[in-house]
């Protein structure tokens, strides 16, 4: 394990190890470990690349399998490999399901088939445990620091001048590399080490006894010089990049030029020029895989940390923060949570969104705080929809910690989306009582801020009806559901998708009360009320109503018709949704119930066992469907 100050060269040493290991024919994997969710997702992607079935990966994401156990069951089959975990500055990111990094039973384990190399700022051997061998990486010595500067900028001055500059920069390779690259670039008005040293010393913050702030002074001097040369967009672009996670690629598709143009005098052409200049002076790195649209930028964690020191209350900082939020909001608008091809992009931006939530809270205006909260709730919802329940919960928790509540009604309104999503995640995990309490709190707050008939209040109240129905509180659920339905019919019209959804939920409650005929009639009316145009969401809703109508038919003992309808719904859902989606599993569960009612217990049992396996692989252990499937199998034991 390599530990030492940020900027001391730990990652550079790791890269050298990686190249040498590849040259020896070893397999090498590199994982950025800035957050626990990033580690889990990356490790499971590695497991999948090593042959782990998709079902087992999904089961690990849903909490049914220990993800570390899954990875190591495949990793140990490999020979001659190197796994690099970069930037483990918070050792808790390597804790998995309660197993700490030093336990030897989590992500870090002894192996005879390969090796793990870690970089971290943490050098406490008691936390890393006996399995890790710690190597302290220290700054360069004065002699080699001066030689490095002269190597990068050979025309910039004498050995003694280079040594004096290196001393001011703390002999840190990151700062030395930047200073040398800047002096060698065509944008620097300073061609000598001495001139650059004087520029750094002119900033009074250089006298502050703080390593990060001292290095920040170095980079600020460079940005000043770039500004004098007409590249004024370099500073705000770097400030925006510093809001995101250091060392983790920021995809180019996420850095929308038309949005970043707001800090470039509304000149979109200045954005790529700003990226290019920052890369040439060593403040960011542009990664081009050679494939179309597969370009990303990375910023060193220390550069990001130092630049965030300059975020304050001024107009420039406010613009930087607002544009950063614009980028996140825009990403949530172009990505579709129901499109499986977009999942990789959600995971790409996950660490950057959590970084913004963790670091920008104090700098957000009320309007930006509300926008960031709303966008973050959408990100969490999309991750949950795709089966990444823990990642979705992480976004929610970081948002709650990072965005201060109680500032104003507009911030509270935004944060209510976060609490609404937390309730949804609780219900997915089967914690229905907690979900009910959360929904009640959010619904009451929204009614106070707006009114009962406001769309946001009705959205939360609808979900409250759902969890009440799941818990058997049918009378209250029906009363509230009918009130929401009446409001939506009056406000939105009978054909609106939200009106139809509410009608279907009311029909479901009525069916649970034993009124199958009434449920059937409502479903018929809802199916006839749909508009001629059926978009994707309406098609899913139509399938849900048809499924509910089939359940009513089963209660009315028309089992053959019900079975045919459920089979048709299952086929349609399978063509639209990802494998293992809760709606598909629900269809298969209901089909097993129809088979049992028709006198085919063996077929029903086989179907339920298949569903049980899929539920374990795709849903959290406490998901309500898991209990239904278990109860179904138990009740079939005597048949």
Say which CATH number the domain at 623 has.
1.25.40.10
* Encoded tokens for 17: 């190890």
Domain for residue 318, yes or no? yes
Domain for residue 536, yes or no? no
Domain for residue 359, yes or no? no
State the pLDDT at residue 208.
35
The arithmetic mean of pLDDT across residues 167-175, rounded, is: 82
β partners of residue 250: 297
DSSP letter string, 570-594: HHHHHHHSPTT-HHHHHHHHHHHHH
- Picking from 136, 160, 175, the residue at the C-terminal end of a domain is 136
Residues 95 and 101: beta-carbon distance below 8 Å: yes
Q: What contacts 472, CB < 8 A, 6 or more positions away?
A: 512
Q: In the chain, what is the straight-line distance between the N-terminal and C-terminal CA atoms, in Å?
A: 59
User: Does residue 132 sit in the same domain as residue 147?
Assistant: no
Strands (DSSP E) found in 398-532: none
State the pLDDT at residue 535.
53
pLDDT, greater one: 472 or 11: 472
Domain for residue 418, yes or no? no
The arithmetic mean of pLDDT across residues 368-395, rounded, is: 91
State the pLDDT at residue 273.
93
The arithmetic mean of pLDDT across residues 266-288, rounded, is: 89
User: Does residue 204 sit in the same domain as residue 130?
Assistant: no
Summarize pLDDT for 205-214 with one digit per residue, the tens: 443 334 455 5
- Picking from 136, 164, 181, the residue at the C-terminal end of a domain is 136
State the pLDDT at residue 40.
87
State the pLDDT at residue 534.
47
State the pLDDT at residue 290.
59
For residue 625, what are the domain limits?
561-639
Strongest mean pLDDT among 44-58, 168-182, 582-596: 582-596
- Kindly tell me the sign of the dihedral angle through the C-alpha atoms of 144, 149, 151, 152: positive
Query: Which candidate, 382, 417, 383, places its Cα nearest to that of 400?
Result: 417
State the pLDDT at residue 344.
82
State the pLDDT at residue 205.
45
User: Does residue 113 sit in the same domain as residue 129?
Assistant: yes
The arithmetic mean of pLDDT across residues 2-14, rounded, is: 84
Give the chain's mean pLDDT.
88
Domain for residue 185, yes or no? yes
The arithmetic mean of pLDDT across residues 516-538, rounded, is: 78
User: Does residue 132 sit in the same domain as residue 148?
Assistant: no
* Encoded tokens for 400: 């709650």
pLDDT > 70 fraction of the chain, expressed in percent and rounded? 94
- pLDDT interval class at 304 (50, 70, 90): confident
State the pLDDT at residue 545.
95
SS3 content of the chain, % helix, strand, coil (to 5): 65, 5, 30
Domain for residue 27, yes or no? yes
User: Does residue 228 sit in the same domain as residue 167?
Assistant: yes
The arithmetic mean of pLDDT across residues 49-71, rounded, is: 85
State the pLDDT at residue 620.
82
108-133 b/e with 16+ CB inside 10 Å = b? Answer: bbeeeebebbbbbbbeeeeebeeebe
Number of domain units in the chain: 3
- Kindly tell me the sign of the dihedral angle through the C-alpha atoms of 549, 551, 555, 560: positive
pLDDT, greater one: 537 or 168: 168
State the pLDDT at residue 170.
78
User: Does residue 304 sit in the same domain as residue 254?
Assistant: yes
User: Does residue 167 sit in the same domain as residue 24?
Assistant: no
Domain for residue 455, yes or no? no
State the pLDDT at residue 89.
80
- pLDDT interval class at 399 (50, 70, 90): very high
Q: What number of other Cβ atoms are within 10 A of residue 296's Cβ?
A: 18
Domain for residue 478, yes or no? no
The arithmetic mean of pLDDT across residues 154-167, rounded, is: 91
Q: Is 408 left (phi over 0), alpha (psi -120 to 50) or beta?
A: beta
* Encoded tokens for 599: 């006198």
The arithmetic mean of pLDDT across residues 8-22, rounded, is: 88
pLDDT, greater one: 127 or 604: 604
User: Does residue 23 sit in the same domain as residue 55?
Assistant: yes
Summarize pLDDT for 406-447 with one digit per residue, the tens: 779 999 999 999 999 999 999 988 899 999 999 999 999 999
User: Does residue 77 sit in the same domain as residue 118?
Assistant: yes
User: Does residue 114 sit in the same domain as residue 163?
Assistant: no
- Picking from 318, 335, 352, the residue at the C-terminal end of a domain is 335
User: Does residue 147 sit in the same domain as residue 20?
Assistant: no
User: Does residue 118 sit in the same domain as residue 172?
Assistant: no
Question: Cα(332)–Cα(438) distance, rounded to whole angstroms?
Answer: 24
pLDDT, greater one: 186 or 487: 487
Query: Which candidate, 592, 584, 577, places its Cα nearest to that of 635?
Result: 592
Q: Lowest mean pLDDT of 289-303, 423-437, 507-521, name the range.
A: 289-303
């Amino acid at each position: 394990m390599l530990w030492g100050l940020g900027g001391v060269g730990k990652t550079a040493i790791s890269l050298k190890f990686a190249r040498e290991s590849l040259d020896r024919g070893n397999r090498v994997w590199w994982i950025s470990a800035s957050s626990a969710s990033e580690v889990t997702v990356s490790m499971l992607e590695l497991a999948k690349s090593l042959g782990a079935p998709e079902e087992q990966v999904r089961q690990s994401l849903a909490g049914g399998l220990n993800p570390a156990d899954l990875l190591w069951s495949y990793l140990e089959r490999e020979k001659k490999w190197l796994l690099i975990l970069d930037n483990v500055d918070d050792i808790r990111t390597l804790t998995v399901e309660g197993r700490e990094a030093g336990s030897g039973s989590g992500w870090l384990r002894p192996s005879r088939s390969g090796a793990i190399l870690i970089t971290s700022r943490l050098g406490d051997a008691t936390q890393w445990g006996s399995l890790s061998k710690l190597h302290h990486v220290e700054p360069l010595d004065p002699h080699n620091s001066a030689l490095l500067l002269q190597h990068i900028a050979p025309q910039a001055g004498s050995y003694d001048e280079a040594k004096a500059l290196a001393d001011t920069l703390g002999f840190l390779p990151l700062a030395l590399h930047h200073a040398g690259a800047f002096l060698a670039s065509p944008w620097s008005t300073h061609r000598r080490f001495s001139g650059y040293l004087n520029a750094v010393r002119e900033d009074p913050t250089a006298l502050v006894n703080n390593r990060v702030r001292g290095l920040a002074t170095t980079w600020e001097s460079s940005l000043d010089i770039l500004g004098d040369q007409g590249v004024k967009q370099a500073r705000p672009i770097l400030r925006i990049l510093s809001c995101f996670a250091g060392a983790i690629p920021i995809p180019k598709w996420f850095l929308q030029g038309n949005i970043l143009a707001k800090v470039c005098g509304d000149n979109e052409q200045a954005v790529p020029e700003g990226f290019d200049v920052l890369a040439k002076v060593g403040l960011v790195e542009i990664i081009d895989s050679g494939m179309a649209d597969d370009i990303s930028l990375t910023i060193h964690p220390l550069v990001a940390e130092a630049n965030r020191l300059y975020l304050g209350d001024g107009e420039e900082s406010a613009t930087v923060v607002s544009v950063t939020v614009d980028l996140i909001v825009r990403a949530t608008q172009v990505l579709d949570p129901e499109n499986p091809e977009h999942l990789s992009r959600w995971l790409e931006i996950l660490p950057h969104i959590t970084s913004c939530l963790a670091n920008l809270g104090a700098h957000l205006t009320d309007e930006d705080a509300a926008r960031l909260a709303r966008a973050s709730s959408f990100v969490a919802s999309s991750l949950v929809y795709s089966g990444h329940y823990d990642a979705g919960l992480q976004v929610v928790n970081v948002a709650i910690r990072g965005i201060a509540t109680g500032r104003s009604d507009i911030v509270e309104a935004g944060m209510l989306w976060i609490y609404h999503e937390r309730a949804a995640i609780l219900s997915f995990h089967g914690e229905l009582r907690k979900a009910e309490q959360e929904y009640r709190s959010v619904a009451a707050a929204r009614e106070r801020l707006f009114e009962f008939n406001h769309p946001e209040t009705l959205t939360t109240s609808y979900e409250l009806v759902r969890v009440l129905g799941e818990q058997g509180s049918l009378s209250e659920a029906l009363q509230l559901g009918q009130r929401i339905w009446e409001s939506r019919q009056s406000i939105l019209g009978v054909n609106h998708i939200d009106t139809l959804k509410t009608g279907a939920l009311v029909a479901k409650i009525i069916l649970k009360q034993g009124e199958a005929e009434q449920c059937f009639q409502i479903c018929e009316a809802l199916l006839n009320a749909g508009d001629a145009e059926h978009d994707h969401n309406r098609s899913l809703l139509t399938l849900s109503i048809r499924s509910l109508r089939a359940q009513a038919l089963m209660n009315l003992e028309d089992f053959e018709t019900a079975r045919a309808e459920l089979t048709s719904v299952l086929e349609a859902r399978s063509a639209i949704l990802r494998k293992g989606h809760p709606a598909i599993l629900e269809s298969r569960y209901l089909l097993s119930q129809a088979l049992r009612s028709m006198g085919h217990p063996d077929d029903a049992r086989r179907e339920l066992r298949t569903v049980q396996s899929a539920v374990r692989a795709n849903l959290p252990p406490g998901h309500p469907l898991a209990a239904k499937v278990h109860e179904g199998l138990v009740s079939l034991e005597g048949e």
